[in-house]
Structure 1
Amino acid sequence: MGKFSNSFTTDIGIDLGTCNTLVYLRGKGILANEPSVVAVERGTRKVVAVGEEAKRMLWKTPGDIIAIRPLRDGVIADLETTEKMIRYFISKVLPRRLFIKPRMVIGVPSCITEVERRAVEESAYKAGAREVKVIEESLAAAIGANIPIHEPAGHMVVDIGGGTSEISVISLGGMVVTNAIRLGGDEFDEAIIKHVRGIHNLIIGERTAEELKKSIGNATPDKKIDKMEIKGTDAITGLPRRLEIDSVEVREALQEPIGAIIEEIKKTLGQTPPELAADIVERGIVMTGGGSLLKGLDTLISNETGVPAFRAEAPLDCVAIGAGLYFEQVRGIDSNRMIYDSLNP
């Protein structure tokens, strides 16, 4: 009966991100990609909006509505709201007539605790899953980036998400070395906000900082200096004010969080066995996650480590795709391990 059920089941891969949640349906692709935000009524906790519509309400809601980001630093901060958000996304991608509950694979940072991992599983089961598997984000990202993880060879993946950055060396379908820090795209935004206030006495919001990062942010010096006008509140007078800021300032603002990620990459390379390190030098570092899209970051990592670094083809989608394909991939991983173990008793 188990085999019969599996042949008809639906596999869903979820990248439960601090900033965005992506849902991959096996055979259909990415069917949901929206901000991890839920708007609820104060008191009743009734859901008013989820995703893109709820994000527009952040910091702009009336007194009776709260816009919540239920995940912080890659982990669940609000269990009840996370469950409602997952249920919403599942209902969005699955037809109501489907009578078999889906199998869910969810990518999470390796740095989360066992309690936090169980909270993710509990949310998925309550949202309607038949079976739940929680895997490391970098393993899911490697599968989604079409990295041949079954091989007895070293592959390094750097996944920079909204709340965490995870650096892993994978071989034979397993994590040989992995390090993660609770630092990602959100900290990039916070660094920009802090810089603009400290240097220009201008208070800006997260959305403005994110626009700066995406539009003119860079990790390495560029011949062309881009500029952008922003609006905020003067920290001294309390009045609205405009300011023109350039890409050089944004790069200076981002130095500290980017430096921390690079140090973590260097540490992971130092912990990697020599044979696998040689493979990584040859194959390069694969970068995934929204943070990898920062202009010049791949070049900076290459310069700092001496190892080629490049973005995956669809860096934002890799974790969700890899999670959705996990059950297919795990059969190949188990098969290869059996062959390897028989050759190396």
Structure 2
Amino acid sequence: MLSKDIGIDLGTANVSIHVKGKGVVLDEPSVVAVETDTRRVLAVGDEAYRMVGRTPGNIVAIRPLRDGVIADFEITEMMLKAFIDRIGGRSWYSRPRILICAPTNITSVEQKAIREAAERCGAREVYMEEEPKAAAIGAGMDIYQPSGNMVVDIGGGTTDVAVLSMGDIVTSASIKVAGDTFDSDISRYIKAKYKLLIGERTSEEIKIRIGSVHSGARNDAIDIRGRDMVTGLPRTISIHSEEVREALSDSVAAIVAAAKTVLEQTPPELSADIIDRGVILTGGGALLEGLDLLMADELKVPVLVAEDPMHCVVKGTGYMLDHLDRMSRKKVRL
């Protein structure tokens, strides 16, 4: 009989699921393709993501999570059910215990929405934890010691910054500037400079392939295609890393400012620990070329990118599932 504990990183960009005893069993985009008139789900995850920007009028590819919280409750529930079925079906997990990670600053109403979605998927008990805590554990930090650990978790919808000690968050900040913001910054920049319209998948491809935020980090170019705003016809242009750096400068500055604010609010003893241990970057945004160098320059402390930053949160849920007794006092009761 399989263990009945499931850890879910319910991200704006991706949903990752950890099953106790099996590790990370699913990591797919948080996208659902739906028929507009019947609300029938046609595809979820990778299959639905391939449809983004490419669907006929009667089919729409929806991202049901925005800025780290549920924007479309019904679709989120359908997506969660589909993913839980995909990892072996709810028949395997007769009423599992589910641990879900959420941003630090979500409201009690938003917490309740996430909790109810999990309960409707058949959860026996629902535990909720803050994302930066799971990210720090997944990155290999021992946050249960009386020493300071700082993590910057840059996801799809939110960036969570936290200093942790003794198993809890000491100071934190959460801002709605993250991977999705970077994508829209790039498309807005290209629209303004080249009068070219590009889709969100193209923006993301530019960010991943040539994105850079530090002058010494990368010097690449890529050809991209879009629709000319003047003629209405397809056109190809070449984009350079330097332009992406320019496009992302304001958003990256906001993340640096959030990290500075958290450091300023941190007790001096813990600040001394952070100087020794450094700041750990997690989440998909941590893969942005040169971000660690830029933040090290700005914060005047060492900054390191976690190993496998995309999966730190879901790996952290795995550890927490093994130590649910530590968390039972923190179970959310709404």
Same fold (TM over 0.5): yes
> What is the RMSD of the two structures over their aligned residues, measured on CA atoms?
1.8
Partners of 1:289 and 1:316 within 8 A in 2: yes
**Is 2:30 the counterpart of 1:60?**
no
Distance 2:149 2:169 in 1: 10
SS in 1 for 2:271: helix
Partners of 2:7 and 2:321 within 8 A in 1: no
Determine the structure 1 residue equivalent to 2:80.
86
Aligned residue identity for 1:159: D
Determine the structure 2 residue equivalent to 1:148.
142
Match of residue 113, structure 1, among 89, 107, 113: 107
SS in 2 for 1:211: helix
Determine the structure 2 residue equivalent to 1:190.
184
Name whichever of 56-65 and 103-112 sits farther off. Answer: 56-65
Distance 2:243 2:275 in 1: 33
**Is 2:120 the counterpart of 1:126?**
yes
Closer, same or farther: CA 221–309 of 1 in aligned 2, 3 Å = same
Where does structure 2 lack aligned partners over 5 or more consecutive residues? 330-334
Partners of 2:84 and 2:90 within 8 A in 1: no
Task: Map Cα deviations across residues 245-267 of structure 1 (whole Å, 9 max, x no partner).
Answer: 11111111110100000000000
SS in 2 for 1:158: strand
Aligned residue identity for 1:317: H
Number of matched pairs: 329
Aligned residue identity for 1:324: G
Aligned residue identity for 2:133: L
Distance 2:323 2:141 in 1: 11
Partners of 1:203 and 1:233 within 8 A in 2: yes
Once the 2 structures are TM-superposed, how far is the Cα of residue 333 of structure 1 from its aligned partner? 7.7
Match of residue 289, structure 1, among 278, 283, 292: 283
Distance 2:172 2:282 in 1: 15
Closer, same or farther: CA 105–205 of 1 in aligned 2, 3 Å = same
Partners of 2:2 and 2:92 within 8 A in 1: no
Closer, same or farther: CA 308–334 of 1 in aligned 2, 3 Å = farther
Distance 2:44 2:318 in 1: 22
Determine the structure 2 residue equivalent to 1:248.
242
Radius of gyration: which is bigger? 1
Match of residue 307, structure 1, among 301, 319, 324: 301
Partners of 1:204 and 1:231 within 8 A in 2: yes
Closer, same or farther: CA 41–9 of 1 in aligned 2, 3 Å = same
Determine the structure 2 residue equivalent to 1:40.
34
Aligned residue identity for 1:298: D
Closer, same or farther: CA 99–171 of 1 in aligned 2, 3 Å = closer
SS in 2 for 1:272: coil
Distance 1:272 1:99 in 2: 42
Determine the structure 1 residue equivalent to 2:320.
326
Percent of aligned pairs sharing the same letter: 49
**Is 2:172 the counterpart of 1:178?**
yes
Match of residue 138, structure 1, among 120, 132, 141: 132
SS in 2 for 1:134: strand
Closer, same or farther: CA 49–224 of 1 in aligned 2, 3 Å = closer
Task: Map Cα deviations across residues 123-145 of structure 1 (whole Å, 9 max, x no partner).
Answer: 00101111111111001111211
State the TM-score, normalized to the length of structure 1.
0.92
SS in 2 for 1:107: strand
Closer, same or farther: CA 26–154 of 1 in aligned 2, 3 Å = same
Partners of 1:217 and 1:250 within 8 A in 2: yes
Name whichever of 37-46 and 77-86 sits farther off. Answer: 37-46
Q: What stretches of structure 1 move > 4 A for 4+ residues in a row? A: 330-335
Determine the structure 1 residue equivalent to 2:71.
77
Once the 2 structures are TM-superposed, how far is the Cα of residue 97 of structure 1 from its aligned partner? 4.5
Aligned residue identity for 2:253: G
Determine the structure 2 residue equivalent to 1:30.
24
Task: Map Cα deviations across residues 213-272 of structure 1 (whole Å, 9 max, x no partner).
Answer: 100111111376211000011111111110011111111111010000000000000000
Aligned residue identity for 1:108: A
Partners of 1:150 and 1:333 within 8 A in 2: no
Aligned residue identity for 1:240: P
State the TM-score, normalized to the length of structure 2.
0.94
Closer, same or farther: CA 18–224 of 1 in aligned 2, 3 Å = closer
